[in-house]
Chains A and B, each alone.
Chain A
Amino acid sequence: MCDTCGCSTEGGAVLRKPGQSDYHVHVSDGEHGHTHTHDEHHTHDIGHHHQEGTSRKVVIEQDVLQKNNLLAERNRGYFEARNIFALNFLSSPGSGKTSLLEKIIPPLHQRIPVAVIEGDQQTTNDAERIQALGVPVIQINTGSGCHLDAAMVNRAFKELDLQDNSLLCIENVGNLVCPALFDLGEALKVVIISVTEGDDKPLKYPTMFHEADLCILNKIDLLPYVDFDVSKCRENAMRVNHHLEWFELSAKTGEGLAAWQQWLEDKLAQH
């Protein structure tokens, strides 16, 4: 049961806004709304004689993720129609997704409208950090869920009042496994790893690196203190995905940030 409104939605995602404790929207995508009409045929169970049942094969041939993929395409169409450049930021917990957004948004949003969707299992902490930058933000709390899906993003951006010709940053739940399978309708997937993780991360989580369009190696200010081989990591990433674009930076000191910022500006200009 939901603590805030007492409704019976179990484990479903909830949208929140920082500093507005009364704002609270359940993402009901009908995902779990099974209609159990088969109960009806049990009512005639009484008094019938039991025949041997026959079975029959029904062809389905449907992608399991079809529902998410279709909705993601609708999101994508909406973003394209309004010239909204949507980026899906993915990483392990704590690699620096929010820190990176805090660095790139201030110089950008003077000229280009920016909005942010924050995904976390709990809290509005990350949304509060973004709100402090003065850009529109909405938090999705996935509860027990470990990834954002297209339905959550669809519901969230409708609450955001997006502007034409803008940038939409979607920070996924910190997790390198599941978010790789769920298309949100983004233009590009940005995977972030930090030097405090292993340089074999791309090999351990190949699906994510295979799906990503660019990889940002963060926290390079810590390189002198850790055993992390940058060229090895890059090589591992390229083995999994030879189209991957690669950047190295520190969201803390700003080192290397200019190159990525330039990349982003160029993308926004082309978009």
Chain B
Amino acid sequence: MHELSIALSIVEAVELKAQEEGGGKISGIDLVIGKLAGIVPESLRFCFSAASKGTLAEDAVLAIEEPEGVGECGECGMKFPVTFYYAECPECRSLRIKIISGEEFSIQSMTIEEGEES
């Protein structure tokens, strides 16, 4: 369900921007959704098609980049891949891990069509 409200906010943001840019149709949207962001890309795609009906973004193709999680050890500074929030430093076994990548969730850019539609 939260993917639907999130899809609606994406549609709202890109439509607003597209209107500022002249009101052309949006053919593509580039998203970054980190693996730890708590968003399931597949449900987002599904909700997006419903959320974008009748808007400038209705035919937009979603390109989703999914950065891997990276943790940094608070004790020894080691950086290592994490797949979940619970992680242990492979170097010193500390649990004081700070997530430095993988929580991203942003709209990077979009492609808008110019000229007349056929």
Q: Using a CB–CB distance below 8 Å, which chain A residues touch chain B?
A: 31-32, 34-38, 40-41, 45, 48-68, 144-147, 149, 177-178, 180-182, 202-203, 206-207, 209-210, 236, 238-242
Contacts and interface: CB of A to CB of B under 8 A. Distances in A.
A141 B62 CA distance: 32
B105 A52 contact: no
A37 B109 CA distance: 21
Contacts of A182: 2
30 contacts: A31-B8, A34-B15, A35-B19, A36-B54, A48-B116, A50-B117, A53-B114, A53-B115, A54-B115, A55-B112, A55-B113, A56-B21, A56-B24, A58-B111, A59-B108, A60-B17, A62-B107, A63-B105, A64-B10, A64-B13, A65-B6, A145-B1, A177-B2, A206-B84, A236-B86, A238-B95, A239-B85, A239-B88, A239-B95, A240-B84
Q: Counting chain A CB atoms within 10 Å of each CB, which of B38, B109, B110 scores highest?
A: B38
Interface residues of B, number: 50
Interface string B17-33: 11101011101100100
B11 A240 contact: no
Contact of B9 (A48, A67, A236, A239): A67
Given A144-B1, A239-B95, A61 B19 contact: no
B114 A56 contact: yes
Contacts of B55: 34, 36, 38
A234 to B, nearest CB: 13
A64 B86 contact: no
A63 B33 CA distance: 10
A53 B113 contact: yes
Given A57-B110, A58-B17, A182-B2, 9 more contacts: A58-B21, A58-B110, A64-B106, A147-B1, A177-B2, A178-B2, A180-B38, A239-B85, A242-B97
Summarize B's interface: helix, strand, loop or mixed: mixed
Summarize A's interface: helix, strand, loop or mixed: mixed
Nearest to A202: B86
